[in-house]
Structures are given as structure tokens and as C-alpha cells.
Chains A and B, each alone.
Chain A
């Protein structure tokens, strides 16, 4: 089983659609969770950290369910500029080391 698993995608949605990505992780001791966005041939950029209480940043909402070891990202009112690969990232380090474990990524394509 992969340490971080994501929806395989790709997701092709029209502008204005709502789209949800799911992610599960295997290490119950993980303490930090993130969504990164990566555009084609660019570096990953932090989209948002994910907290147990859930958090929202504009059109983006992230949720964490520790009991189910499940993370989600909801994008409302999709824009063309949201087209990218979304990486679910979990801190898998031990002994104090910040080792990020990346999911394989889910590709989103928003069309007019």
C-alpha cells in the first residue's frame, strides 16, 4: 500500500464547477498535512495546510479526518487558472525530521 494515495484523475471540469479531491495516508502518526499545487514544468507551491478543524481559503476548503486517515480538498467555482496537478502531502518523518511524503498527484483540467 502506498503511504499517500490520491484519486488518479484526470478531472476535466467546466468553469464554475465544484470539484473534490480525496487522499488517504497510511501512517497514523503523521502530524502535518498539506495540499500543494504544481503547474506543468514548475515547482510545487503550497496551496494550504490542512487542520483537524478544517480550513477554508477563498474558494478552497480542506478537511482532515484523522480517524479515517483521510484528507480532502474542495474547489468551488473552478477557474481556468486552477488547472494544475494537486499533490496531497503528509509529514512522514520520525525523530523530528520533516520528511514529506507526496501522493502521486491528481490532475485537474478546467475548460471554458
Chain B
């Protein structure tokens, strides 16, 4: 079962709000990822977690704060976002951080007002 789940599916927030996106996988994968995708553009990598440790931060602004509570869960905490942060946020996982296939969750569609 190659399933990655994400909640919520949709989120509308104001620029002063604090919210969190959640991602879960039960495939025993040890690498998890956050991507941002704008309309008609490919996904852009934000963060990589390997064995619950942050491995890569692609120079993402600090208003995005990732967290990996355990090997199955990945959160993305949002605070003081800007309207240009509105996008589809995708979580993915892979067996490890080698040359492995990544499996994507359905995403959270975020609108910042």
C-alpha cells in the first residue's frame, strides 16, 4: 500500500493566523519531504527529513517550520504567511534518502488572505 495521507485537504488562513499541515505514512519509509506547488508549475522541494532529522532546508522562509514527531508523521507549521504562499503543499515519502521512488500525498490546498 503506497499511501501517504495529508490533512486538511483545504485551508484558508489570514496572515496573522497560525496553522499546521499534517502528513502521515505507514509504509515504514524513513525519508519524508515537503514540496510547494504553484499553479501550472512543477513541485518545488522545501524540506527533507531523514530518520526523523531535518536533512535539507531549501532556504525556506522561517514562517514555515517543519516538524517530524516520529517516523510516520510530518508536520508543517505555518505562521504569518503571505498571500504569495498560497499553493498546493505536497508531502512525499520514500524508503530512504537514496535513489528511491517518492510517493506523494494528495496535498493541502492553502489560501492565504
Contact = CB atoms under 8 A, between A and B. Distances in A.
Interface of A: 31-32, 34, 41-46, 49, 87, 91, 93, 96-100, 102-105
Majority secondary structure of chain A interface residues (helix, strand, loop or mixed): loop
Contact of A91 (B42, B99, B104): B99
A104 B97 contact: no
A32 B45 CA distance: 17
A87 B102 CA distance: 13
Contacts, number: 53
Given A31-B99, A97-B97, A102 B42 contact: yes
A31 B101 CA distance: 12
Given A43-B90, A104-B41, A104-B42, A98 B104 contact: no
B43 interface: yes
B52 to A, nearest CB: 15
Contact of A49 (B43, B88, B101, B106): B101
Given A42-B106, A43-B104, A97 B99 contact: no
